[in-house]
Amino acid sequence: MTRPEISANRLMARIKRLGEVGALSGGGVCRLALTDEDKQGRDLLVSWMQELGLKVSIDVIGNIWGTREAEQGGPPIMMGSHIDTVATGGLYDGAAGVLVGLEVIDALNAAGIKTVRPVAVAAFTNEEGARFAPDMMGSGVHQGALDLDMMLATVATDGDAVFGEELNRIGYAGPVPAASMTPAAYLELHVEQGPVLEQERIQIGAVTGVQGISWTEYVIEGQSNHAGTTPMSMRHDAGAVAAEIAVEARRIAVDFGPPQVSTVGVFEVSPGLVNVVPQFARITVDLRNTDDTLLIKAEQQLMARAKAAADAEGCTLKTRSLARFAPVAFDETLVAKVEAAAAARQLSVRRMPSGAGHDAQMFAPNCPSAMVFVPSEAGLSHNINEHTEEADLVAGANVLLDVILDLAGESK
Amino acid sequence: MTRPEISANRLMARIKRLGEVGALSGGGVCRLALTDEDKQGRDLLVSWMQELGLKVSIDVIGNIWGTREAEQGGPPIMMGSHIDTVATGGLYDGAAGVLVGLEVIDALNAAGIKTVRPVAVAAFTNEEGARFAPDMMGSGVHQGALDLDMMLATVATDGDAVFGEELNRIGYAGPVPAASMTPAAYLELHVEQGPVLEQERIQIGAVTGVQGISWTEYVIEGQSNHAGTTPMSMRHDAGAVAAEIAVEARRIAVDFGPPQVSTVGVFEVSPGLVNVVPQFARITVDLRNTDDTLLIKAEQQLMARAKAAADAEGCTLKTRSLARFAPVAFDETLVAKVEAAAAARQLSVRRMPSGAGHDAQMFAPNCPSAMVFVPSEAGLSHNINEHTEEADLVAGANVLLDVILDLAGESK
């Protein structure tokens, strides 16, 4: 038996080839879910799966997976990610995970290795949520976390297109029922989409889980007043309250320490004139933590301070939850295997949470799941200049190969 | 000789009549400078001046004043304000000062009083600066603080209209040269445009001066990053820096105490998405104080703290002065006369600075000047719901009458 090895040439050729589908003239790609470009990407993927001898399955929400059969049968060890992108996406977000999966299969084939358990590679529909909300739709339906009919009825954010109709139109409404298969284990390679690995010069991230996300909108109403004639003590300045909440949101994240993060991404005031005290302000706060207890504590502290700030200024405060996902913890044994596989290959590795959502989190409640992160240049993500070095991708592919082979077992 | 008395009926009839010119359907008025509505208001004013037997003068920038001649001749004791409004203005801002001036003349006429010095009432062009910047344009040119040709060349903020052409079009480019007359004294009644008199249940404000104004734009540039994947320590959050500057601006005003005020009226972040760390932020800070030394100190403290905040976050900070006016002090003797006249009529009175700019500040460097404030309901200003009670207006008119008579002197 030959020892299987990742081929950088094969891997990069597929990344380059898929990157041509929906390529933007200035660089980057646009393969929004269920568009013609998504269909072309899917067709290419299916043709590659067939070339590699995989059994192709397509389910009712358009998820595609190719299975490398094994004597023993049963649920496969699954690798997966997505090939849809945001409107100005890069070549690696999602595609890297799917194509590294194909390369793992190619390497096993080339080495003539048979596994005890089947190995599969999957591309899940509409992970980005850029054209149809919510995100992680395909993996969510696949693992029973989202309702199929509700998802099929979703209307596009950019017009009147209905998800189910678009899925039919591109020919990817498949026969496999929703929530009908749980893999034996799930592994996903993904670009970090953040700066940590690059800044710390580490090649592999052994992802311990996905941060819980809490999005809250704070709307403050006060009173519009003349900036010159209204003493500070007689003001009801909605903008001042919003600024205080923003500063407090940051203070909480700094006080809690990593992995707590906090972001005020939206900050609007009205009427928005130099010499008028703002009557209205709207901000959003994005809080994330891997520990739900801490995340709840951060939410509660900020809410209390926001109320105090609004009360002190004689303003009203209304808050609205825009999104709330509890943190997801990956399987400790699997995370340790990723770490060990990296170390065995002399690759630098660190444990880290994922700050962004991924398909893997839909599998985590149902089967042992984990992720492998590779560095993102300058942390750029959802950007046409998103980039990951070839050497880093190959390193990640080798780690994935080793863990998959360990989990699937070699037939002697 | 009859003792002169203000007639509430005459005064309110003129206020109501002028309020019909440019009346908005939902209440309030729009008489932007040099529009057809401004012309109609001017025509009405001139006809009233003529009815009252005043000698009407119009200067090169369209200022109108009517002079009640006196045996002695020489420069008049002048009352004045403006009749232009913002786009959604009220009936009193500016108009009250001009029409109370006319009523003072009417009362002198009705009582058959002759004065030693002439008395004049003026309406200055484009005090608001809403259609053509800067504000206080007419009084500025009248008193030599602004250059006539530069003002005539000003282009409207709402299109291509040129100030000088518009002035000709409405027929109010008069023959009197700029900066050709300095009154013996200048008195202006104006609505407070703030909440202080109403909240303290005081009828008359004896205005001590106009606050110095400092407008600064703060532009912060950082780096756009993913709100989930970027640890707090690796961020360059332009929005967070802006929020800190806003909080510091407020802190400085509270620490300094009255009359220091500070307003962040504009707060913009970009890209303005819930889950993206802002790359860009722009805020404006409006600082005002009656003491220029304190105003400079406030400016410097805020600038230092803003720089420190930007440096700490690894962001760049660019600042730009949008406007800077030094404080203006009114004539102590005249302020005391206003106070004494109010007290003599059993009216409650307090000294106070003006937080807004007024035509009177253009006269203050050249002749004894002062102002009389009357209460603004709820402090509303530049608002169609702006209102001052009839009793308060009449009280202010009586104070103005008494001081004018004192200054002009009765002919025995």
pLDDT (tens digit per residue) in B92-114 = 999 999 999 999 999 999 999 99
Which residue of chain B comes nearest to A265, CA vs CA? B274
Instruction: Write out residues 122-161 of B within 8 Å (CB-CB) of A.
Output: none
Whether the CB of B192 is below 8 Å from some CB of chain A: the reply is: yes
Beta-carbon contacts of B194 under 8 Å, excluding residues fewer than 6 positions away, are: A225, A226, A228, A229, A230, A231, B355, B356, B376, B379, B381
Q: Which residues of B touch A129 (CB under 8 A)?
A: none
- pTM score, two decimals? 0.85
Residues A73, A60 share a domain: yes
Residue contact A261–B231, C-beta within 8 A: yes
Q: SS3 breakdown of chain A: % helix, strand, coil, rounded to 5? A: 35, 25, 40
What is the per-residue pLDDT across A319-345, written as a single tens digit (0 to 9) for each? 999 889 899 999 999 999 999 999 999
Whether the CB of A265 is below 8 Å from some CB of chain B: the reply is: yes
**Do you find a cis peptide bond into A271, omega within 30 degrees of 0?**
yes
Q: Determine which of A252, A267, A302 to mutate to test the interface with B (most B C-beta atoms within 10 Å).
A: A267
Residue A314 tokens read as 């004689």
Q: Which pLDDT belongs to residue B2?
A: 72
Q: Could you list the mean pLDDT of each consecutive 10-residue stretch along chain B, which spans 412 residues?
A: 89 98 95 98 98 98 98 94 95 98 98 96 96 94 97 91 98 97 98 96 97 96 92 96 98 97 97 92 97 97 98 98 92 98 98 95 97 95 93 98 97 85
Residues A301, A226 share a domain: yes
The mean pLDDT value of chain A amounts to: 96
User: Bridge partners of B209?
Assistant: B329, B353
Select the residue of B226, B284, B355 nearest A228 (Cβ to Cβ): B355
Select the residue of A229, A231, A250 nearest B240 (Cβ to Cβ): A250
Measured CA to CA, the distance from residue A239 to residue B263 in angstroms comes to 9
Measured CA to CA, the distance from residue A197 to residue B195 in angstroms comes to 56
Which residue of chain A comes nearest to B242, CA vs CA? A243
Domain that holds residue B296: 212-325
Asked, for residue A1, whether it belongs to a domain, the answer is no
Report which of B239, B251, B249 is spatially closest to residue B313, judged by C-alpha positions.
B239
Q: Which pLDDT belongs to residue A158?
A: 78
Whether the CB of A389 is below 8 Å from some CB of chain B: the reply is: no
Whether the CB of A282 is below 8 Å from some CB of chain B: the reply is: no
- Considering its fold, how many domains does chain A have in total? 2
Measured CA to CA, the distance from residue B295 to residue B301 in angstroms comes to 10
Residues B150, B46 share a domain: yes
- CATH number for the domain that contains residue B88: 3.40.630.10
Asked, for residue A43, whether it belongs to a domain, the answer is yes
Q: Which pLDDT belongs to residue B403?
A: 98
Instruction: Write out residues 200-239 of A within 8 Å (CB-CB) of B.
Output: 211, 213, 215, 224-234, 237, 239
Residue contact B229–A194, C-beta within 8 A: yes
Which residue of chain B comes nearest to A258, CA vs CA? B231
Beta-carbon contacts of A240 under 8 Å, excluding residues fewer than 6 positions away, are: A278, A313, B246, B247, B250, B264
Q: Determine which of A199, A224, A226, A302 to mutate to test the interface with B (most B C-beta atoms within 10 Å).
A: A226
Residues B156, B20 share a domain: yes
Residues A333, A320 share a domain: no
Last residue of a domain, one of A325, A348, A382: A325
Residue contact A193–B226, C-beta within 8 A: yes
The mean pLDDT value of chain B amounts to: 96
State the CB neighbour count (10 A cutoff) for residue B320: 10
Select the residue of A195, A247, A277 nearest B230 (Cβ to Cβ): A195
Residue contact A231–B278, C-beta within 8 A: no
B374, B191 in Cβ contact below 8 A? yes
Residues B196, B79 share a domain: yes
φ, ψ (nearest 5 deg) of residue B301: -60, -45
Q: Which pLDDT belongs to residue B140?
A: 97
- CATH number for the domain that contains residue B240: 3.30.70.360
Measured CA to CA, the distance from residue B125 to residue B139 in angstroms comes to 7
Q: What average pLDDT does this structure show over A136-147?
A: 97
Asked, for residue A304, whether it belongs to a domain, the answer is yes
Last residue of a domain, one of B280, B304, B325: B325
pLDDT band at A1 (very low <50, low <70, confident <90, very high): low
B137, B151 in Cβ contact below 8 A? yes
Beta-carbon contacts of B326 under 8 Å, excluding residues fewer than 6 positions away, are: B212, B292
Say what percent of chain A tops pLDDT 70. 100
Q: Which pLDDT belongs to residue B246?
A: 98
Residues A96, A155 share a domain: yes
Q: What average pLDDT does this structure show over A185-211?
A: 97
Select the residue of A229, A246, A250 nearest B356 (Cβ to Cβ): A229
The CA-atom distances, in angstroms, between A10 and each of A101, A401, B75, B289 are: 12, 15, 95, 71
Q: Which residues of B touch A244 (CB under 8 A)?
A: 247
Q: Determine which of B263, B315, B319, B321 to mutate to test the interface with A (most A C-beta atoms within 10 Å).
A: B263
Closest chain B C-alpha to A396 CA, distance in angstroms: 19
B170, B314 in Cβ contact below 8 A? no
Residue contact B379–A288, C-beta within 8 A: no
Residue contact B277–A265, C-beta within 8 A: yes
Select the residue of B194, B228, B322 nearest A356 (Cβ to Cβ): B228
Last residue of a domain, one of A291, A325, A359: A325
Residue A34, pLDDT > 60, answer yes
Closest chain A C-alpha to B298 CA, distance in angstroms: 15
Whether the CB of B173 is below 8 Å from some CB of chain A: the reply is: no
Residue by residue, DSSP assigns A223-250 as: --EETTTS-GGG---HHHHHHHHHHHHH
Asked, for residue B157, whether it belongs to a domain, the answer is yes
Whether the CB of B319 is below 8 Å from some CB of chain A: the reply is: no
Residues B350, B255 share a domain: no
Q: Determine which of B88, B220, B229 to mutate to test the interface with A (most A C-beta atoms within 10 Å).
A: B229
Asked, for residue B1, whether it belongs to a domain, the answer is no
Residues A219, A145 share a domain: no
Whether the CB of B284 is below 8 Å from some CB of chain A: the reply is: yes
Select the residue of B229, B246, B250 nearest A379 (Cβ to Cβ): B229
Q: Which pLDDT belongs to residue A385?
A: 92
Residues B171, B126 share a domain: yes
Residue contact A215–B355, C-beta within 8 A: no
Q: Nearest-5° angle of CA B53, CA B85, CA B14?
A: 35
Residues B228, B198 share a domain: no
Residues A199, A346 share a domain: yes
